[in-house]
Chains A and B, each alone.
Chain A
Amino acid sequence: KQEVTQIPAALSVPEGENLVLNCSFTDSAIYNLQWFRQDPGKGLTSLLLIQSSQREQTSGRLNASLDKSSGRSTLYIAASQPGDSATYLCAVNLSNYQLIWGAGTKLIIKP
């Protein structure tokens, strides 16, 4: 059974630092992996989607990598800002219908 783990559960860093969030999954048979952002009390915003055949995707200050063989993905945030404070979720796509979710990493960027 596919399981997705995100470590750490919470992270607090000073503004301006570069940081890495981790996501691991137990079964490499995935179609793609998505990173989402969730602000307190709100829905999810898709940040990056990496296809199973890709190694990384970039959007602005965000870079997501995927290593299927080791069952790992990382989300790299460059030059962090207070506005980046949110919970970051990763999800692996097993089919057109089913996403398996991690529990998230709560990120706090201190001004």
Chain B
Amino acid sequence: DVKVTQSSRYLVKRTGEKVFLECVQDMDHENMFWYRQDPGLGLRLIYFSYDVKMKEKGDIPEGYSVSREKKERFSLILESASTNQTSMYLCASSPHGPSSYEQYFGPGTRLTVT
């Protein structure tokens, strides 16, 4: 079974702190994704990566950065956390190949910024 793990299930941080969210997948997938999920808005793509050290902006990259130094690990960084970044963050991975491949999701990290 594909396994995508995220470093924390719940996280509480203060405004202005630097926050790291870690995601690890064990299926040698090339693609990895970071989404945020807010009530009524559905999932929105923040960043994705299609290979080590490669990244592309999604729909809402402002206030975030990412790092992919190893194939299995994709990190989301909030340089200076703000209250409007309080949300559920979901990581996903998928293999390269035809666009038919599906994305596999981690359990999510619920981040609260106070």
How many residues does chain B have at the interface if contact means C-beta atoms less than 8 Å apart? 29
Interface residues on A, range: 20 to 34
Bound Cα distance A97, B50 (Å): 8
Judge whether B100 and A51 touch: CB under 8 Å.
yes
Known: A101-B43, A103-B42, A104-B42. A31 touches B100 (CB 8 A): yes
A48–chain B nearest beta-carbon distance, Å: 10
Query: Which residues from chain A contact B45 at a C-beta distance below 8 Å?
Result: 98-99
Question: By DSSP majority rule, is chain A's interface helix, strand, loop, or mixed?
Answer: strand
**Complex Cα gap A27–B90 (Å):** 26
- Counting residue pairs across A and B whose Cβ atoms lie within 8 Å, the total is 59
CA distance A43 to B107 in the complex (A): 4
CB pair B100 A32 closer than 8 Å = yes
A27 vs B99: C-alpha distance when bound (angstroms): 17
Residue of B40, B96, B107, B108 near A103 (CB, 8 A) is: B40
Who on chain B is nearest to A104 by CB?
B42
Shortest CB distance A83–B (Å): 18
Cα–Cα distance between A34 and B106 once the two chains are bound (Å): 16
List residues of chain B with CB within 8 A of the CB of A44: 90, 92, 105
- Chain A residue nearest to B30 (CB atoms) is A96
Q: Which residue of A lies closest to B48 (CB)?
A: A97
What does the 1/0 interface line of B32-48 toward A look like (CB < 8 Å)? 01000000111111001
Kindly list the 3 A-B residue pairs having the minimum CB-CB distance in the complex, ordered from nearest: A31-B99, A101-B42, A44-B105
With A43-B107, A46-B102, A103-B41 already in contact, 7 other A-B pairs whose C-beta atoms are closer than 8 Å = A4-B42, A31-B100, A41-B108, A42-B108, A96-B94, A99-B45, A99-B103
